[in-house]
Amino acid sequence: MSAERKLERLIAEHRESIRECLEADQYALLLERLRALASAPAGPRERRRALQGVRLALLPLPLDHPVRLAFESVRGAAVLDDPSDVLDARLLLTLLEEVPAAGPVAPETAALLAQARQWLLGAPALSAAQARLRCGGKLPVHELIALDDPELGARYPSFQFHAEGPGVPAVVREVNRVLMAEVDPWGAAHWWLSGNGWLGGTPAELLGTVPDEQLSGAARALVEGEL
């Protein structure tokens, strides 16, 4: 059996374990990314991106979880033109959607999640109108973090924009693409605004003070499981 088909089989066999190891929102994100893979356009770029999204959604699994270990073994699958060679997204969706909910999120966990989101929403940010103005009238929505504030609507963390002048730095666009900010804006914002031991500081505060390649390299290392 190929490593690719082994991965597909492992996900099917360990579906209950995956459900137990992921929080409700993490599990919902996994299903969302499998749907994106199942409906990805024919272009290899879109398919590779969708496949990478599934891999990122599995990162919260324990380091020794069989599915995570198997996915690491086929990391090179991201260069394949057809992700169906790696796994059958429609089949896995059918299997995973049948798994009963693991139960309500514990109050302590829910409180921590709410606190984390509130902290991220407390960072300096622009409204959609302000962000659009800074970008010359058109937002690069696929390359920007937009956090949903229940009271204020979409909020765009201000570190993403040039401190002086219009536009978004190229490294911000690149890192946001790597972190799949369009799909997981909270996770991307957390990376930018939290301390990073590998970089020796907070990525958002290091913009313009460390080489762009160092920032993008740290993001890629996280995505590829090297951090």
State pLDDT tens for residues 159-210. 999 987 788 999 999 999 888 787 778 878 888 998 888 888 999 999 999 9
Of the residues 97, 115, 146, the one at which a domain ends: 97
pTM of the model: 0.60
More confident residue, 38 or 190: 190
Task: Among 65, 97, 129, give the residue marking a domain's end.
Answer: 97
Whether 162 is covered by a domain: the verdict is: yes
Instruction: Supply the range of the domain harboring residue 52.
Output: 3-97
CA distance 8 to 83: 11
| The domain boundary residue, chosen from 97, 128, 155 | 97
The answer to whether residues 52 and 112 belong to one domain is no
d(CA 2, CA 207): 42
The two beta strands, 153-157 and 125-127, are antiparallel
pLDDT at site 131: 92
